[in-house]
Structure 1
């Protein structure tokens, strides 16, 4: 295994790949990444699936079968994406078994158009969970206000969840509360809490992109907000899972909901391309990376020990510094959540268009 990635893994960071395609699965590339790069999980989104469909021929047979069966676009999307995720879950199953279910996970997203509807999100989560039918699946549910009760309800029904699109500390605390409430409901209904897992995807690079655009060139706070935000999130994580409330659940077999650092590909070329990996090293976390970032870290990434714990006070100073500059933290994270939902909708539309085009050609 690559020594730099091994060091990252040894520091307690689970390396997940933010990409999936049938080509990657069937060619053996995903298995190779598991073996040689320490990849322990996979996250997906509609844009990833759209790119895979438009660039590969390995979907042609299934698309032709779906067309012959008279499948509409929504049905085709559901069948194609769940097929890829089933196969990826099978590739990652040995990791799942070796880590007692902590890793070896593959995530699939609910239709983002349902992000503002609690009931629709719950229904879609159940459909995806039943269709894939693998214990190492995670259902991605956006952390909108309407998403929080859907997260709790899904956890209560024994569905493992990847909570996505988290930007604010307040919303993150709400996510953790929803997870604990879901576990409490699951226990009340007699479910095995040890079979339920969850991660909370805290978005990183987009925070710097939004804040840096509001600061002048050379300002000392540029490139600081995303890391500060994540470090404060980790403080909140430690507080929540050191609580008596969680201790009661843990005694019944419950697992912590690990923080997952998402959107860790660097968008500003002025920053080190491994910034959001090396600077967020801390135990019991996940870092899901695009392949480019994974390769960069394997080539020249450095692990300097725990870069998160004990840095909450300096992180609060960064957020306070923004307020002094007239930049409202609350307004920034609200903008990012709304933009994130818009991007999710656009990527879903792109996926539908891509599948529609493939059906037309079949």
Structure 2
């Protein structure tokens, strides 16, 4: 276990790997990361699975068997991905047994359902049943149509990773959806301590969009604000989380065993090479959060990342000042958020298409 990653974990940040493959599972690599790099969770998405399936022979036998059974491509995708998540859940089970909230593995609902509440609920139910592990999380997007699906899933006892959150306002709506689901679960007699949730707040994409606009403005004041929006946005989100956790509504649920819906910092790989490669880890250190990282970012932090204490709490006013300055130079942050959510849903859907096309090619090869 590296000292730097251990220091990050000791500061209350749960380190989750943003990657999964059958190679990692069967070679022992995932178990090794748990033992040596403080990894206590895994997140996946269709792009990750597409890469794993395209580059890994370990899927060939299952693909051939499913092709022989006459299964359509959507079903083959479902079987391949749920198999990986189920096995990853088993590897993380000892972590889950020793933790109130870690040891989790996430899998997404079908992205084409991002604007379909009933379809999202059905997809979440099917994935939860197929994986059949208490330490699984079903990823549901924080679209307007996704919010009631979040409530419904939680009310049924399905643990949820809410994804594609960009704005503090939408994050507040996500927290409300979670609490409403918990209240419904409580009222129907479910045990709340069996239900888990995280809220994935996207980070680097915010800087990507805002920085592009600042560079188009081009003034010294505008250029001086590059690389500040994403961290400010995340710090305002954490302030909202703190506020909800201090509410009477939350306390009533906590008193009967409910778990907090921890903020999860997603998209933490740095895209601008001018920024420190650990920026979205080092500057988002605060207890009771998750940082899900690609292995490249994890290795960078293990090599030279620094933990200097809490870099989030009590910085809401400072974060708001950043947004005031952004507005002053002409940044319409509401439009930024609209663009990010629209692009996010589009990328969500395109990644699914990529996965389906990858599996279709594997199926054709299996028939040859």
Report TM bin, short chain: over 0.9
Distance in 2 separating the partners of 1:128 and 1:64: 22
Question: Equivalent residue of 1:52, what SS?
Answer: helix
Distance in 2 separating the partners of 1:242 and 1:138: 25
- Shift, 1:241, TM fit: 1.0
Q: What corresponds to 1:112 in structure 2?
A: 111
**Does the alignment pair 1:292 with 2:296?**
yes
- Shift, 1:165, TM fit: 0.2
Distance in 1 separating the partners of 2:323 and 2:152: 33
Q: What corresponds to 1:161 in structure 2?
A: 160
| Structure 2 gaps, min length 5 | none
Distance in 1 separating the partners of 2:326 and 2:336: 10
**Does the alignment pair 1:55 with 2:59?**
no
Q: Give runs of aligned pairs for residues 145-160 of structure 1, distance below 5 A.
A: 145-160=144-159
Q: What corresponds to 1:333 in structure 2?
A: 337
Q: How many residues align?
A: 361
- Shift, 1:321, TM fit: 1.1
Q: Deviation string for 1:250-284 (max 9, x for gaps)?
A: 11110110000000000000000000000000000
Question: Equivalent residue of 1:330, what SS?
Answer: helix
Cα root mean square deviation, aligned: 0.6
Q: What corresponds to 2:176 in structure 1?
A: 177
Q: What corresponds to 1:140 in structure 2?
A: 139
Q: What corresponds to 1:35 in structure 2?
A: 35
- Shift, 1:328, TM fit: 1.1
Q: Deviation string for 1:147-192 (max 9, x for gaps)?
A: 0000000000000000000001100000000000000000010000
Distance in 2 separating the partners of 1:320 and 1:328: 11
Q: What corresponds to 2:258 in structure 1?
A: 254
Distance in 1 separating the partners of 2:38 and 2:162: 23
Q: What corresponds to 1:69 in structure 2?
A: 69
**Does the alignment pair 1:90 with 2:94?**
no
Distance in 1 separating the partners of 2:245 and 2:333: 25
- Shift, 1:33, TM fit: 0.2
Q: What corresponds to 2:278 in structure 1?
A: 274
Question: Equivalent residue of 2:8, what SS?
Answer: helix
Distance in 2 separating the partners of 1:324 and 1:68: 62
Deviates more, 1:317-326 or 1:2-11: 317-326
Which 4+ residue blocks in structure 1 deviate beyond 2 angstroms?
none
- Shift, 1:327, TM fit: 1.1
Instruction: State which of 321, 328, 334 in structure 2 corresponds to 1:324.
Output: 328
| Structure 1 gaps, min length 5 | none
| TM superposition score normalised by structure 2 | 0.97
Distance in 2 separating the partners of 1:127 and 1:320: 45
| TM superposition score normalised by structure 1 | 0.99
Distance in 2 separating the partners of 1:85 and 1:198: 17
Distance in 2 separating the partners of 1:273 and 1:139: 29
Distance in 1 separating the partners of 2:131 and 2:51: 21
- Shift, 1:7, TM fit: 0.2
Q: What corresponds to 1:8 in structure 2?
A: 8
Q: Deviation string for 1:269-315 (max 9, x for gaps)?
A: 00000000000000000000001000000011000100000111110
